[in-house]
Chains A and B, each alone.
Chain A
Amino acid sequence: MNASAKVKLATVWLDGCSGCHMSLLDMDERLLELSAKFDLVFSPLVDFKTYPDWVDVALVEGAISSVEDERKIAHIRKHTTFLIAMGDCAVTGNVPAMRNAFGPEPILQRAYYENATIQRQTPCVLVPQLLQVVRPVHEFVKVDMYLPGCPPSADTFYTVLSELLDGRIPDVASLSRFGA
């Protein structure tokens, strides 16, 4: 990271509940302090539609559950210097991976047939095809830092981002854990 310029930061939402993003926002006014050191260049929280050609740090929330997630994470990795798996879904698969013992078909059956009263059909347009098994981000691409927690607390986010933006690598294990 170049200390003289603002860090280009991205956040990404794959198969997660957005709780990690909510926790990120829970930093409240501390976000203003940190924002002096970064530009948010891509995120569900802002309006950019395409992932930039170059990103310094990306926080990736969510597991890889669909062909779309798989395509996105490959693209993100290619255009990111430092990729952080943010939260238990990205780190372990967590709740989305609870379907792994059953496979996607019973899940689709439950959602679109058993729980539907009209128009019972599996969506096949615009909705990406589910993978047979939900897996954590590091099983698809190299991950530079793991930030476990469901979600990681706002204090954890603040410490981690403060350290990274100052060019240091924080001791994540002392800050958060699976399920935190």
Chain B
Amino acid sequence: MKTIADVKTLVIDGIDVSARGDQTVLEVARENNISIPTLCHLDGLSDVGACRLCVVELKNSTKLLPACVLKVEEGMEVTTNSERLRHYRRTILELLFTERNHVCSVCVANGNCELQALAQSQGLTHVSLPYLNPKLKVDASHESFVLDPNRCILCTRCVRVCAEIEGAHVWDIMGRGVDSMPISTSLGENPTARGAGSACRSARPALFPTKATSGATIPSIPKWSRISTC
């Protein structure tokens, strides 16, 4: 039996593009060299629309929609870059910087951080919102990994890599809103990097935008976890 390909045609930033029916606007945009900023998307993982930086405008809709979970539709017209979108993206970045203690100058990820780089590319030279300065404990109980919630932007990449690639799912997020924290499920009521690091070796350096978990400098562990890891 002959299968008919499910092809949709749409317009992104004035460019006519075609896509498979199951693709997202983010996927199609990137295939056509149209850049949309993201922090929580990672190729190969499910998308959750956590960071909202990939918001785009859709013709005939007043809503901003996250491109990473927006499925293509026939005839849709998408705008990925406008003053309105830039304003919201900068505001999202400001909220991320104020929620936790992102002190770039003393961070292990300085110069190798997607949040820092995105702030610069979006023209963010200062944060106009007040800093919250939460008091958050760094968990250095594991010999190879350090979990620093001060740098966490709740992208959940670590959760999804561990659950979907490794199949271990020892990480998750606990709490609501600004109080949400990454936790390890391996030690029950006493979450610590010790259990998570041992159970899930997926906390690898390139996977995580701000390096909220980082590798200690220990010669005996693999190279990927010695440089600042997730």
Contacts and interface: CB of A to CB of B under 8 A. Distances in A.
Contacts of A143: 126
Contact of B104 (A97, A139, A150): A150
Nearest to B110: A179
Given A92-B127, A146-B126, A148-B125, A101 B133 contact: yes
Nearest to B113: A179
Contacts of B105: 88, 94-95, 150, 178-179
B130 A139 contact: yes
A104 B49 CA distance: 39
B125 A91 contact: yes
B118 to A, nearest CB: 10
A77 interface: no
A27 interface: no
B126 A92 contact: yes
Interface residues of B, number: 26
Contacts of B104: 88, 150, 177-179
B133 A100 contact: yes
Contact of B119 (A85, A94, A100, A178): A178
Interface string A81-116: 000010010011111011011100000000000000
22 contacts: A88-B104, A91-B125, A91-B126, A92-B127, A94-B105, A97-B133, A98-B106, A100-B131, A101-B134, A101-B135, A102-B135, A135-B130, A135-B131, A143-B126, A146-B125, A148-B125, A150-B104, A173-B124, A178-B105, A179-B107, A179-B111, A179-B116
